[in-house]
Structure 1
């Protein structure tokens, strides 16, 4: 018997990368999975490939989060697993030259959107449910030209730990996965061309003790682990770092 039979899971940003891989792992373990994304064509294509249920919703827009919550409540009722995964890196720039537009875009999706996704979905979470936030090792690394992205993930870690305490009376566990460099489409979406991306990947690989980039499946398996009440029932407010030793 699969560990998530009769469980309903939501994966935000589920059309590619870590979200897609996690949805695939959850489905393989028997869960019914709802995947969300901003682009209708992309999320519907991913859902068809996965055998998931698609919903078009932009985590950066509060009205989309509320509509998503209302639709899921109307059609499905309660949920058991919530993986708040959607996020962007934004544009790299110094604090001195940072635009308010880029600041708002990153914070609206990575922090405000994640915060209110949890906030609005708390009434739909079954007692004993699992919530997992996708963070990043950048939350505790202070590199130039990445101030807003780093700050958005640090803020995310803070609210995840507060939520773990607030929701503990209902046995709802809230945890964090923080990947290091991972082979996903996020940097392509940030506007890097293939040659620049290849150079960046080679440079990052040299910084990682294990001398390799992570894969989305590495993170997906950690999310599945944290979502399993039989294995991780005593884990809440925990951060699992998946970075090949990069922050050592």
Structure 2
């Protein structure tokens, strides 16, 4: 089974996303089979919930990398439990964002201060996005979204005004847990990083920094490179890929690798 932390963070901080992803993963391992049996009059198949991999892109990629850390911490805090939560068999993050000194660390107020002046109508659209019941609902059938979509105005603007990380983690000083590279360990699941070589939103070096940090703990790592690929390429409709773009190859390689890790893993 694939556990996909697909996070559209918008005005929700990454710390809250991490809590939700961990809660969902614990539910998946401890209660899902019981719920399925109850809802189907006990005719539902019994899922092997110990066999799953996690995958996600962008903020979801960051959440994918944080999930094993949070599972590890949860198990350490719950040592009295007879059964621990099992780590994902593999993780497939795509173009995650890391904390770096001086990178995207203006306070979130920089967005309003600058966007309201530079693009008043755009700021109004972003405000509606923040308070909407489903603030990131897509009105198109596929990615990428048009540049005038409120979500694109927001994301492109918070990068332009150097406050993207503050929208992810809250205004600096950031909590220690936000620098997740410091919390990897040899227990971390095998990792296949999908790197967007042409990423204009989050520098591709962030993906390589994750890989190097994992290698320091001898974690099995691989990298699939989307040549000239923009941020979000794994979510784009292939019909909208530039002519000659071979982005499916690294995606397929990563998914097949993770499936093999999940299916073939020994107990």
Give TM class, smaller chain: 0.3 to 0.5
In the superposition, the TM-score normalised over structure 2's length comes to 0.37
In the superposition, the TM-score normalised over structure 1's length comes to 0.39
